[in-house]
Structure 1
């Protein structure tokens, strides 16, 4: 037997249960990963809470939980390619990642080697957040010399977006609560408080104006950018919120270019990108972990260990 977080009905974190299930084994075209860490994302609890969002990802009840994971390949099917027993890997498996084992069909574009020197906890945070951040910036054609406003800069996607924008040569203003200002400065962003009066505060911090924006939480930053004269084509929003204003780009992890995640993993390995882990929970505390993540007051990523 093995453990997996599952739910029988949609709802709040109370629906999540750690269940004993038959241990899965790799089919001929699959590899099995013994999961050691699973990074949480807002989409995880939204899928578990909202039937319409679950349907978008083809998830039906009863369902598993989580998207991102890291661990070690411990079974390889006779026809599987690209991986060997003992390989450290990280990947994405929507609706299946918080479990002792994840099966992945090969060849695959959802499993990657973990660079030496990058721990499993950090590796488990990369797929959804890293790809979403990269896609959001690519959608607006971010380039060196831009001054970009990033909404929700201190969140799990925001920490990647800020650092990727800095690596691209942009000046970054990030919206957040005042309690996260020091954290954001440490990532290289100029923090600005969200809420009423945001446009005036941005004008004060960037009197020469902003040239681009991406909104990773809600639509406030996108609407502020429009108010400040940024053309809609240079504004993006993530795909899990309400419809964006006309002309504003919508982006998600699936829109990221091939090779993006390898570049992010390499940047983490080289120290160009840091991944703050806000808190780590054992799988038995999954409900507490999800509640902490859903409150959106953490600075960085939440990781579940198995």
Structure 2
């Protein structure tokens, strides 16, 4: 039956799910357009990207840490154009090209949609040198790398060990650490060693004998170990620290509770996004996009992310 045009509520296309589960719960639906709050702008989404946390949340594993309101629109990374502004948003104007990590206090109005309401604290102007697809690949992974490096106090002349150096977060971290003048050793599969060498990183293979391989490169130990891999990375790092060294992890709280280091949960930050953008536009940090999907195929984008294969971020074009 045709709808009465007079009764149609304006809506946008969005990916939603109404229960936890596999990627099969994701569907393309029509949802009400979001509205700007006092310190919120509405962004016309040009691209979003998939992060592992997206499907971890979708599966229900973070319920209690991040509550979900159904139907939920997933996604936190965004690049797009400001379409509406709130009552007090002097930082941004209609027409500004922005990117951001739009994490809110609960999971509901995410970025896999034509429009997203984004607090201004979550956004910054898009790096001029990036396409929208490239910009969407940066915020969560780039901020995680940037904030963990800041927390660790990485500085010129230090030796930094990065676990999962070719991954989404690790590939940003090695470049940021190099921009600070650090020597970087990175763990990765051998298939990614040439990629890391191209970033100025000394690669070492995962697996048995990792501690010995790193120690051969850094007999005096490493000043900072950054764990983006999980597993036994923190335990291995503890054997490799130089006196006064620091372990920082985004996966294992033992870095803080057992080794006096840091456990980092990434936060939205306009200032940090601006700093990242400056590094990108200066040519010090490159962005790699692995695959691009259309909005209607977001479930396939999630499935591709869940395989944990391939290099570069998975992006959804809206």
Settle same-fold status: TM greater than 0.5.
yes
Superposition deviation, residue 229 in structure 1: 4.0
Q: Work out which of the two has the higher radius of gyration on C-alpha atoms and give 1 or 2.
A: 2
Residue number in structure 2 paired with 1:26: 36
**Structure-to-structure mapping, 1:1-306, within 5 angstroms:** 1-27=11-37, 30-51=40-61, 53-77=62-86, 79-94=88-103, 95=107, 96-105=110-119, 108-230=120-242, 234-238=246-250, 240-241=251-252, 243-244=254-255, 246=258, 247-254=260-267, 259-306=271-318
Please say if residues 292 and 317 of structure 2, whose CA atoms lie closer than 8 Å, have aligned partners that are also in contact.
yes
Q: Secondary structure at the match of 1:26?
A: coil
Please say if residues 18 and 71 of structure 2, whose CA atoms lie closer than 8 Å, have aligned partners that are also in contact.
yes
Cα gap change, 1:43/1:230 in structure 2, threshold over 3 Å: closer, same or farther? farther
Q: Secondary structure at the match of 2:70?
A: coil
5+ long unaligned stretches in structure 1: none
| Aligned-partner Cα distance in 2 for 1:150–1:218 | 12
| Aligned-partner Cα distance in 1 for 2:166–2:211 | 19
5+ long unaligned stretches in structure 2: 1-10
Q: Secondary structure at the match of 2:229?
A: coil
Query: TM-score normalised to the size of structure 1?
Result: 0.90
RMSD, matched Cα: 2.2
Superposition deviation, residue 79 in structure 1: 4.9
| Aligned-partner Cα distance in 1 for 2:221–2:36 | 55
Per-residue CA deviations over 1:194-214 (Å, capped at 9, x if unaligned) read 112110111223334322201
| Aligned-partner Cα distance in 2 for 1:91–1:124 | 8
Superposition deviation, residue 276 in structure 1: 0.8
Superposition deviation, residue 270 in structure 1: 1.6
Query: TM-score normalised to the size of structure 2?
Result: 0.87
Q: Secondary structure at the match of 1:84?
A: coil
Superposition deviation, residue 251 in structure 1: 1.1
Superposition deviation, residue 241 in structure 1: 4.6
| Aligned-partner Cα distance in 2 for 1:163–1:224 | 23
Cα gap change, 1:169/1:114 in structure 2, threshold over 3 Å: closer, same or farther? same
| Aligned-partner Cα distance in 1 for 2:60–2:213 | 35
